[in-house]
Structure 1
Amino acid sequence: MTAGEARFGKVDLTSCDREPIHIPGSIQAHGALLVVGGEDLVIRQFAGDTCLLLDVEPARLRSLTLADLFDDQVLDRIAGRPLAPVPGLPAVLLGMMPRSGALPLDVTLHTQGSFSIIELEPAQRGAVPVGNPLSQVRAMLAALQSSDGFEACCTAAAIQMRSALGFDRVMVYQFLHDGSGRVVAESKADRLDGFLDLHYPASDIPRQARELYRRNWLRLIPDVDRPPVPLEPLNPDAADGPGGQPDGQPLDMSCCALRAVSPIHLEYLRNMGVSASMSVSIVMRDKLWGLIACHNHSPRHVSADLRASCELFGQIFSLHLEARIEADAARQRHGAGRVIEALAVRLAAASDIPRALVTGEVTLLDLIPAGGVAVLMDGETATLGETPPADFMSGLAAWLTEQDQPLFDTRHLGADYPPAIPFAATASGVLAISLSRQPADYVIWFRPEAVRSVTWAGDPHKLVEEGPSGGSLKPRKSFEAWREEVRCQSTVWTAIEMEAAQSFRVWLLESVLRQVDLARKEREATLAHQDLLMAELDHRVKNALASIQALVQQTRVGAGSIDDFATGLERRIRAMSHAHDLMSETRWKGASVRALVEEEMAPFRSERNCNLRISGDDVMLSPKAALPFTLVMHELTTNAAKYGALSTPAGAIDIRWGLKDGALVLNWMERGGPAVAPPTRRGFGSAVIERSLRHEVKGTCSLTFGREGVDCVFMIPADCVIPAGDPSTGKGEGSGLE
C-alpha cells in the first residue's frame, strides 16, 4: 500500500462522499512542499524532490530554516507573504532563485494556522510567451464580448481556454439542480468524440470535491500516472502531535496547488483515457456554478504564469456569465412585475377574486408558464388550463397544509405524494403558494409530465464495480453515450418562477385579501397627496437655492480672503442643514422654541452682524406643534433672505415671543431691508404659513407688508405649549444671535 493510499484510507462503495481529499498526506510529484513555522521559519514537514529543486538532501532539512534556502532578497518576498493575515489565500511568486542556484522556482504560498505552506515548482514557460496575465486575459476576453447568448458565450470560453492551453478537449460543465452536471459547451480535437450535452451523475464530483472547487479557482493534474510523494515530518519533537502539527491533526491541504489527487478520481480519469486535466471553477455569488474542464490524452504541465492567466480568466468569465444570467433574470422579473400590476388593477374592483385571477387578458398562467392553474379559496375552486379533478385537488390541498410551507415546489409530485401518480399527465410538477392559515386556500400551478431522453456519459445506475480484491471502489469504465427515458417528471421550476410566485403571494396577502377595500379608498387620496408633495418639493428646492444665494452674498461682503469666504460659507450651509435636521426631529418629541428659532437663523449669523435679536421665554412645543412652527419660521426666514432684511447687510430682524393665557405669541419684525410693497397675489409661502398653523394646531397668523419691512404675528394655542420655566425669573431671556 502506498503512502497516498494509507492517508486516503480503505474505500468502499459508500466512501466517495466521505473521502478525505483535503488531507491526503502527499503531493503530486512535479513539485515540492515545505511546511515552516510562522515565527522561527523552521522547516517542520516537506515533500518532493528537494535535491533537484533546492540542491538539499532531505536529511539536511532537519537542521535548516527557510533563511538557509533563500538569500535575503528572496526571503523578504517569501517570508513576508505567507505570514500575511489572509488565511487560505495563496500568493504566487514567479522565478525565485534559491541559494543553491539549482533552478529558478515558481513559489505558491499561504498560511495554515500557525504554519506557512510553501509550494515549489520548476519555473517553466510555454513556447508562446505569456507575459502579463492581464494582457493574456484581455485577448481571451475579447471573444466573449462579441458572443451573443448564453451558449455562444460558453463556447467562446471553451475555445479561448483550449487555444491558450493546447489541451485536447475543453468543456464548460454546469451543475444542475440535483447535483448532476451537463456539458453545455465544448472545444475539442477533431479526432475525439463529442461530449456536448452529455450528463454526468452527481457522484462523479462528490460534495467535498465541489467544496474544494468552490474555494480554489484552479486545479491542475499534469500526469495521472505519476505516483504521489508522501509528506514527511521533520523535528517531530517540536510539536504536540504527529506530522509536526500542533493539534496532532494531519495537514489540511485544501488550498495547496500540489495536493495529491484521490485514487478514485485518478482511476476515473484513466477510464476516460485522460492523462492530464485542469479545472477552472465558475463561481457565482460564492456558489459553485460549474467548471471549465480541460482534458489531455498525454501528460501536460501548465506553467504558473499561464495558470495565473487562466485563473483570472475564470474569475472574469464567472462575472461575465453571471451578468448575462442576471440580465435575463431581470427581464423575467420585470415581466412578472407587469403581470402582477395588471392583476392588481383587475382585483381592485373584483368581487370574485378566484375567478378574476383565471379569466381575462392577463391570468396566473401569464405570471408562471404551466399547463394549468387552480385557485382554491373559501371552499370554491377556479381553474384555467389542464388541471386534475376537483376531488384530487382538495386532497392535495389538505396534504399541502400538512407540509406547512408557504411555497412548495416539486417536479416529481408522485414521489412525494403517491396519489398523484395516476395524474402524471397533468400534475407531474406542482408549484403551490398558501393564501391563508385556513385549510385549502391555495394557488396551485400544474405542469404535465415531460417525457424526455437524458444522454448520460455512461450508465449512471452502474457507478461502481468491484475490483480484484472484491470490495474496493472502481469507477465506471464506459463513458459511451447512454440514453435514459425520464417519465413522471415535469420541467424544472426555475428560481425566477418561484420568486415570482412568492412575490405574488406576499402581494396577494398584504395588498389584496386584507386591504382591498382600504386600498380602493386610499388610492385617490394618495394621488392627491403625491401632487402636493411634488409641489412642496419644488418649492423647497427653490427656497433652498435662494437661501444659499443669500448666504454667498452675505459671506462675500464680510470675507477678507478666499479662505475666509470658504470657511464662512461652509459654516452657514452646515447650520442650515442642522436646522432641517431639527425640524425632522420635532415629528417625534417636543422641541424648544428658542432652539427652533436659533437653528433656523444660524445660517445668517456672522461676527460682524449685530442686527439679529432673539428674545423670549423658555417654552417647549408639543410634537404636534413643533413641525408647523418650524415650517412658518422657515418661510419667514427664506422670504427675508430673498426680499427682506436678510438680503442686505443693513437689514435687522427682531424676534420676540411670550406666553399669553398659556398660548404662544411670536412677533417677527423686519427693518432696514429693501422697500416692501404688498404682494399682488398670494404666494405658496404665505399659504403654507397660514395653512400649517390653522390646519395643524388651529392657530392664527397675521402678515403685514409695511414699507419698512414685514411684520408677522402668529399664535399657537395653549394645548400645544409646554412651559419649561417661570417667565418671572427671566429664564430664557437673552440677547439672541450676536
Structure 2
Amino acid sequence: MSEGPSSLYPQEVSLTNCDKEPIHILGKIQSHGYLLACDPASYKITYCSENIDQLFNKNVEEILGSQITDLLTNLTAEILKTVDSSEKMSPEQLHINGVSYLLIAHINEGNLVIEIEPFENPRDPFKYQDQLSEVVAKLNSVTDEQKMCDITADLIKDFFDYDRVMIYRFDENWDGIVVSEAREGHLESWLGLRYPASDIPQQARKLFLRQGVRIIADVKSEPVSIQALSGDECDNPIDLSISETRASSPIHIEYLENMNVGATLTAAIISKGNLWGLIACHHYSPKLVNYYQRQSCKFLTQVFSSQLVLSKANVLLQKVNRAAVLRSKLVEKISKDWNIHKGLTKGEATMLDITEATGAAVMLDDRIATVGKTPSEEEICGLVMLLKQGKEDLIVTANLSERHKVSDSLKFYASGVLCLFLSAAKKNALIWFKPEKIETVTWAGNPEKPVAVDENQRISPRKSFDKWSVEQSGKSDPWYDYEIAAAKALKENISEIILEKYEEVKELNILLRNAYEDLETFSYSVAHDLRAPLRGIDGFAQILKEDYFEQLDDFGKSSIETIINSSVKMNQLIDDILEFSKVSQAAVKKDDFSMAQVVQETVDFLHIEQDFPNTKITIDESMPPAYGDRKMVLQLMQNLLTNALKYTEKERDPLIEIGHTVIDQMDYFFVKDNGIGFDQKHERRIFKLFNRLVGDEYAGSGIGLTISQRIVKKHSGEIKVISEAGKGSTFLFNLG
C-alpha cells in the first residue's frame, strides 16, 4: 500500500515550478470529504482516502481490493452502474450512522470515482427556488456589462453569504483585475486591483474551465491522503481533475493563508468557450457550501456568462452593422471618383470611422493620405518598412514599442497599430493608429516580487498584498474583433475595386497601345511620303531663284525665299518626326559605358569650337560610368547640348556645364547653361510634342526635348529641369 501520485508528482514544488505542478494528481482530498475509486467493470476498489474508516467499520487495508457492494447498499451499487463517462451522476443521498451525506460519482481516466460529502437539507427548498428565480430575473434585466458585473457580485454574496465576492477578469496576458466586488463593510476594497498571471497559473485555469465551480471549505485544515492498492496502480496516480473534493496545491493554500482567507468558492465565467474571468468568493472562516448550492452558483454563473456574451454580441452587431454601412459609403465614393486616397480620407465618412482609432492612413502608389491624428509621413513610411519585414499581411498590436524600437513621437500617436497590406509585395497598406494611453495601474502587492524568501531561504508566495501603483506607458487601448473584421472587409473591398479598375485599365492599355502603334506607323509613313513632294517644291523653288530671280519684283523675290526657307523647316520637322518615331519603336540595348566619353563625342560632333567660338564648355571628367543604351544616350546628350548652345548664343559670355550630382542617393547627369531660361511653371509643358516657349528667332521644331524625355523613360529613368527666366536652365536626368 502506497500513495498514488508519487511517481509523477515532483519531489519539491516551489514558486519556480508551480506553473508545472500537476494539481490534478495531488493524491489528496479536502478533509470534509471521503473518496473511493474502483474499476468500473469489476467494481473492485483500487483507491480510497485515509479517512474512509470514519464512515465504514473497516480500515483502509480491508477496503482496498474489496467490492464496492461490500460497502454500499445494493440499490446504491446498482445506481453506480448507470454512471456515464461523459458527465457526473446525479447525487445520491445516503444516511450513514444517522448522518446525511451526498454520494457524487463520475468516471475519469478509467476510474469510477465516488465522493461522499456531508449534506444538510435546506430548510425551505421552495423558498430557495424562488430566490434562485429572482436572481436569474435580475440578471436578465440588465444589458450593460459593468452593471451586470455589479449585480452579479451583489446577488452571489446575498445568496451564498460569503464575506467578499469579486468579479475577476483576465486580460490578454492572463493578469487579472477585480472589475466588481461585494463585501462586508469592515473589509478593505479590492476593486480595481490587479493580480499577476502567476497567481492563477495556466493548469489551474484549465481546470476551472473544465470543472466550472470549486470550493475550498477550510483553508487551514490538513488534506487527507489517498491510498492505492499495491501493484501497478501505485505508479498510476488517480486523476482528480473534476473531483468535487480535490485538495488544493500547497502553494495556493499558503497564498490564501497569507491573505488570511479561511474558505473560498470559485466559479468560471466562460465566454465563447474561453475563460473570461472568475467569480471569486472569500470567507474569513471555514465555510462548506453543499453540492446543490455549488451547482446553483454554477448555474447563475452560466446565466451571467450567457448575458455577457449576448450583451457583447448585441454591441458587436451594432458596430458591425454601422461599419458595414460606412464601408458601403466609402466604396461608393471610391468607385465614383476612382480616387482611393480621397475616398478613404476626405468627406463626411472616412476609413477612420469604421474603427475606434484616432488616426488612419492609406499608402498607395508611393503616396500617403492621412485622416485624424497620425504620425508624420516620414514616420509612417519608416513604420511600414518595419512592419513589412515580417511574414504577416495583418499586423495588430496595442504595444508597438514592445515589438520594435520606436521614437517617442511615433509612440505618442501610434502605440496601437492595425496594418493591412493590400498585396504580397507589401507596397500598399491601410493603417489605423491608437495613441499611447498612460495610466496608473494598481496591483495587489508588488508584481515584480510575486514571491517572498524567509530566513531559511525558502521561496513562498508573497505575504504583502498592499496596493502597489505603477505607471503604465507604451500601450494603447486594445483592438476589438469588430475593428479587425471591419478593416479586413475594407481591404477586400479596396482589392476588388483595384482589380476591377485594373481590368478596365488593362483593356484601355491594349487599345491605347494599338492606337499608339498605328499613330507611330502613320507618323512614319506621312513623314516618309512627304519627302518626295517637298523635294519637288524645294527643287523648283531653287530653279526659279537661279534662273528668274532677277526678273522678279520684290514681292516675288520674297515669296521665293519664303518657299525655300519653309521647305528647309519642313524638311527638318520631317527629320525630327522620323527620329521620334525611331526612338519610340527602338528596343533598348543596355551596357556599361563612359558618360564622359559620350559627352566629348557630342562636343566634337557639333563642331562647337568652329560654330560657337564664344561659348565656354566645362566637362566634369570624374563623372561615373553609366548603364544604358549608348546610342540613345548619345542622341539625348546631343539634344540637350544643342538646346543649351541655341539659347546661350546671344549671351555676352555663354557658359555650359556638363557634370554629375547625387539627389536622394540617385546619380543624376546634368547640362547647365546661363541662357535665356524660362518660368519654372512651364517645366512640364516644354517636354510636350511641338511645344515651344520662344518664337521664330530661335530655330527648332519643339520635338527635341520630347525625344529626350522618351529616351529617358525607355530607360525607366527621370528627366527634369530647373530654370529661371533670364538666368539659364539646368536639365537633369538619370537612367533608372
The equivalent residue for 1:496 is 482
Shift of 1:135: 5.1
Whole-angstrom CA distance in 2 between matches of 1:119 and 1:136: 28
Give the alignment partner of residue 514 of structure 1, picking from 479, 499, 507.
499
Partner of 1:226: 221
State which of 451, 461, 464 in structure 2 corresponds to 1:478: 464
My pick for the range that moved more, 72-81 or 428-437, is: 72-81
Counterpart position of 2:110: 114
DSSP 3-state at the match of 1:172: strand
In structure 1, the gaps of 5 or more residues are 521-738
Question: Kindly tell me: are residues 516 and 257 of structure 1, through their superposed partners in 2, closer, same or farther at Cα, counting changes over 3 Å?
Answer: farther
- Is the Cα contact below 8 Å between 2:217 and 2:289 reproduced in 1? yes
Counterpart residue identity of residue 186, structure 1: E
1:306 paired residue number: 293
Question: Corresponding residue for 2:661?
Answer: none
Verify: 1:469 aligned to 2:450, yes or no: no
Distance 1:12 1:96 in 2: 40
Equivalent residue number for residue 433 of structure 1? 420
Q: Which amino acid aligns with 2:467?
A: A
Aligned residue in 2 for 1:42: 44
Distance 2:124 2:246 in 1: 27
1:280–1:291 contact (8 Å) kept in structure 2: yes
The aligned residue for residue 431 of structure 2 is 444
Indicate which of 343, 358, 361 corresponds to 1:356.
Answer: 343
Higher Rg of the two aligned structures: 2
Give distance in 2, aligned partners of 1:132 and 1:209: 35
Alignment-derived partner of residue 398 in structure 1 = 385
In the aligned structure 2, how far is the partner of 1:125 from the partner of 1:356?
A: 70
Once the two structures are superposed, residues 616-665 of structure 1 have per-residue CA deviations (whole angstroms, 9 ceiling, x without a partner) of: xxxxxxxxxxxxxxxxxxxxxxxxxxxxxxxxxxxxxxxxxxxxxxxxxx
Alpha-carbon shift at residue 131 of structure 1 (Å): 5.5
**Local SS of the residue matching 1:224:** coil
How far residue 133 of structure 1 moved from its aligned partner, in angstroms, is: 7.8
1:506-544 CA-partner distances (Å, limit 9, x unpaired): 2322x3221258799xxxxxxxxxxxxxxxxxxxxxxxx
1:277 maps to amino acid: T
Which of these residues, 133, 141, 149, is aligned with residue 154 of structure 1? Answer: 149
Helix, strand or coil at the partner of 2:99: coil
SS in 2 for 1:104: strand
- Alpha-carbon separation, structure 1, partners of 2:406 and 2:72: 72
Do the aligned partners of 1:406 and 1:433 also contact (CA within 8 Å) in 2? yes
User: Counterpart of 1:69?
Assistant: 71
SS in 1 for 2:337: coil
Rounded to whole Å, the distance in 2 between the matches of 1:38 and 1:156 is 44
Q: Report if aligned partners of 2:46, 2:233 keep a CA contact under 8 Å in 1.
A: no
SS state at 2:302 partner: helix
The within-5 A match list for 1:369-380 is 369-380=356-367
Mapped contact 1:228–1:260 kept (Cα < 8 A): yes
- Unaligned ranges ≥5, structure 2: 506-736
Instruction: Please give the alpha-carbon distance, in whole angstroms, between the structure 2 residues aligned to 1:198 and 1:132.
Output: 36
| Contact map agreement 2:255 2:461 (CA 8 A) in 1 | yes
Equivalent-residue separation in structure 1 for 2:4 and 2:504 (angstroms): 70
CA shift for structure 1 position 114: 2.5
Deviation of 1:422 after TM superposition, in Å, equals 4.6
Residue among 84, 93, 96 paired with 2:94: 96
TM-score (norm 2): 0.65
Deviation at 1:102, TM superposition (A): 5.1
The alpha carbon displacement at 1:90 in A equals 2.2
C-alpha distance 43-451 of structure 1, shift in aligned 2 (>3 A): same
Output the CA distance in 1 between the equivalents of 2:238 and 2:455.
Answer: 32
| Cα displacement string for residues 305-330 of structure 1 (whole angstroms, at most 9, x for unaligned residues) | 21121122222221122111111111
SS at match of 2:168: strand
Matched with 1:283 is: 270
Retained in 2: the 8 A contact 1:134–1:309?
A: no
Q: What CA deviation, in whole Å up to 9, does each residue of 1:42-71 have, x standing for no partner?
A: 110101422333343223203521111121
**Structure 2 contact 440–472 (Cα < 8 Å) conserved:** yes
With 421-430 and 324-333 compared, the bigger mean Cα shift is at: 421-430
Q: Distance in 2 between matches of 1:249 and 1:508?
A: 59
Q: Do residues 272 (structure 1) and 270 (structure 2) align?
A: no
C-alpha displacement of 1:294: 0.4
The CA deviation at 1:355 is 2.2
- State the percentage of identical aligned residues: 31
Amino acid in structure 2 at the alignment position of 1:351:
W
Q: Judging changes above 3 Å, is the alpha-carbon distance between structure 1 residues 270 and 176 closer, same or farther for their aligned structure 2 residues? A: same
Q: CA deviation at 1:145?
A: 2.4
Contact 2:47 2:64 (8 Å CA) reproduced: no
Could you tell me which of 175, 199, 212 is aligned with 2:207? Answer: 212
1:387 maps onto 2:382 in alignment: no
Question: What displacement does 1:40 show?
Answer: 1.0
Higher mean displacement: 28-37 or 381-390:
381-390
Relative to structure 1, the CA distance from residue 402 to residue 30 in structure 2 (aligned partners, 3 Å threshold; closer, same or farther) is same
Q: Which residue of 2 aligns with 1:32?
A: 34
The answer to whether structure 1 residue 181 and structure 2 residue 176 are counterparts is yes
TM-score, normalised to structure 1's length? 0.65
Shift of 1:358: 0.5
